[in-house]
């Protein structure tokens, strides 16, 4: 069995804690590798190395740092197939979906090539008699990121690319469920010219997370995962004086108006609800058709599309729609929540509970499910299922549909499908959700905009990637300067206003 490593100071390093996590092949249920779980001492040692490497990297001018990012983009394109296969093998995603995971991270790296422009400060000459003022954006020092299993390429790059482009060193603690791609990314960053020690990958569990939170050298922490853990990391990190941004769970609604193109809406719901087996924080998990006639027609269009979905391992070809979920525990939790929906009175229109894939009986496959007549008091509505389960909540009016999205405690993303520009504009203006799609089902912004939800989907005041990332990973220093003219008039004790 393969024993994975940490990546420390430019080398693969075996774990010394004696603790390991099993890394599964989700399609077969077999353990294919074990990942070391770092102790506090191992994490602290990695931070020391990062701190020693960071000053020289910070002193490298932003243009040269941008060139490293440019070369990294080239290497990602070169190794795209290799990265996608490794990602699929550990996560279970289809190969096209895995390649998309890498691609969306790559786009953030492309944005970071522009670090020289993004790090420019402000300048005012003549702020007072002989006085100039200017601001500088300077790196924090050592930053850390704690990333989830569902995007093992994209989300690490969301964090470490801007952090490193800003001149920081970075400690990456990836998910222990699929750590191979993050290790590969660290290798590629150094092949691109990043000095050793600037990017460290430390595998681990809660012990490593707490070591990050309580390490005084680490200045900032980023996290993506479930809301309870996001709250814990945010509260603990802030109490330790760190800059923290945490992104939690989601329950994304898609409102379908009576005038919507229902074929377009149904196709969008299939991709957004069942793609990646629903293991996306931007998955549409709640369809809200407005009016009984709209709801009946939508269900009629969804059922045959869902029944045609092809579920299987990534090795079965690119026509597979989605693969297994990541662990048996995830599968059990999804099926438990499906059963609560049945028990609480929702109508299970498409029942995937008995799904069984011949030859892969031990894999973590979950069949597609479609609920109708779900109500807000049901557990399947309130909780993030993170599986191939779509719930339909019927609304009598636009205002009722809008209220559903606004009243839910999570506010990551939402969408509206309509031909009415006035309704779309009103929805975008009023809904208290961070990312809005108008006839777009998964409104994930491109890299030069920022990603972030509202309410209990986010903790912190700055979003991921885009301009916010360069604010998060730098501090502003303001300088007031005066150069003597050679005329000596004695000491002054007041700041002279301009005439």
* Catalytic machinery residues: 281
Q: Which two tokens stand for residue 490?
A: 């004695």
For residue 70, give the nearest of 22, 36, 106, 30 by alpha carbon: 106
Instruction: Give the list of residues 6+ apart from residue 462 with CB closer than 8 angstroms, or none.
Output: 245, 450, 452, 468, 469, 471, 472
Burial class from Cβ neighbours inside 10 Å (0-12, 13-18, 19+) for residue 18 reads: exposed
Length of the chain: 499
- In the structure, how many helices (H) and strands (E) does the chain have? 16, 23
Strands (E), 206-251: 218-224, 243-247
What is the rounded distance in angstroms from the CA atom of residue 159 to the CA atom of residue 245?
11
- Output the CA–CA distances (angstroms, integers) from residue 187 to 182, 292, 416, in the order listed: 9, 55, 42
Instruction: Give the largest Cα separation in the chain, rounded.
Output: 92
* Lookup result for tokens 């096209």: 96
For the chain, the helix, strand and coil percentages under 3-state DSSP, each to the nearest 5: 40, 25, 35
Inter-residue contact 444 to 435 (CB < 8 Å): yes
Q: Specify which residues 454 forms β-bridges with.
A: 411
Inter-residue contact 273 to 284 (CB < 8 Å): yes
What is the rounded distance in angstroms from the CA atom of residue 10 to the CA atom of residue 201?
10
**The sheet that has 30-36: what strands, in order across it?**
2-3, 30-36, 20-25
Q: DSSP alpha helices (H): ranges in 245-394?
A: 262-274, 292-307, 328-343, 379-382
Instruction: Give the list of residues 6+ apart from residue 427 with CB closer than 8 angstroms, or none.
Output: 255, 402, 416, 436, 438
């Amino acid at each position: 069995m393969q024993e994975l490593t940490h990546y420390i100071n430019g080398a693969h390093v075996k774990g010394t804690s004696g603790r390991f996590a099993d890394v599964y092949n989700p399609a077969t249920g077999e353990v294919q590798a074990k990942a070391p779980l770092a102790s506090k001492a191992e994490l602290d040692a990695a931070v020391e190395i990062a701190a020693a490497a960071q000053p020289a990297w910070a002193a490298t001018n932003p243009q040269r740092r941008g060139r490293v990012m440019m070369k990294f983009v080239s290497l990602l394109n070169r190794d795209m197939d290799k990265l996608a296969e490794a990602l699929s093998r550990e996560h279970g995603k289809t190969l096209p979906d895995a390649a998309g995971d890498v691609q969306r991270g790559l786009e953030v790296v492309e944005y970071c090539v522009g670090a020289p422009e993004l790090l420019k400060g402000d300048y005012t000459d003549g702020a007072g008699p002989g006085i100039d003022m200017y601001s500088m954006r300077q790196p924090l020092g050592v930053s850390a990121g704690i990333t989830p299993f569902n995007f093992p390429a994209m989300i690490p790059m969301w964090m470490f690319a801007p952090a490193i482009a800003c001149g920081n060193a970075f400690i990456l603690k990836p998910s222990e469920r699929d750590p191979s791609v993050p290790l590969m990314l660290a290798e590629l960053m150094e092949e691109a010219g990043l000095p050793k020690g600037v990017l460290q990958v430390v595998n681990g569990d809660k012990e490593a997370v707490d070591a990050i939170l309580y390490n005084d050298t680490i200045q900032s922490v980023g996290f993506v995962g479930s809301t309870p853990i996001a709250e814990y990391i945010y509260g603990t990190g802030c109490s330790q004086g760190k800059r923290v941004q945490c992104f939690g769970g989601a329950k994304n609604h898609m409102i379908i108006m009576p005038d919507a193109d229902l074929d377009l809406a149904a196709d969008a719901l299939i991709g957004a609800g069942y793609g990646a087996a629903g293991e996306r924080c931007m998955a549409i998990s709640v369809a809200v058709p407005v009016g009984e006639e709209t709801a009946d027609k939508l269900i009629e269009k969804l059922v045959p599309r869902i029944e045609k979905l092809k579920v299987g391992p990534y090795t079965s070809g690119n026509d597979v729609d989605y693969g297994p979920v990541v662990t048996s525990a995830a599968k059990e939790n999804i099926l438990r929540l499906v059963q609560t929906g049945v028990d609480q009175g929702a109508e299970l229109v498409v029942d995937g509970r008995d799904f069984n894939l011949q030859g892969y009986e031990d894999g973590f496959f979950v069949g597609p499910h479609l609920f109708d007549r779900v109500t807000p008091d049901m557990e399947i509505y309130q909780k993030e299922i993170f599986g191939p389960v779509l719930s339909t909540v019927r609304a009598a009016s636009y205002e009722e549909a809008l209220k559903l999205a606004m009243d839910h405690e999570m506010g990551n993303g939402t969408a509206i499908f309509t031909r009415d520009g006035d309704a779309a504009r009103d929805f975008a203006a009023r809904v208290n959700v961070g990312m809005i799609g108008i006839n777009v089902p998964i409104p994930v912004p491109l890299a030069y905009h920022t990603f972030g939800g509202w309410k209990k989907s986010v903790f912190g005041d700055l979003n991921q990637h885009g301009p916010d990332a360069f604010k998060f990973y730098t501090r502003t220093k303001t300088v007031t300067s005066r150069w003597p003219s050679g005329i000596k008039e004695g000491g002054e004790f007041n700041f002279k206003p301009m005439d």
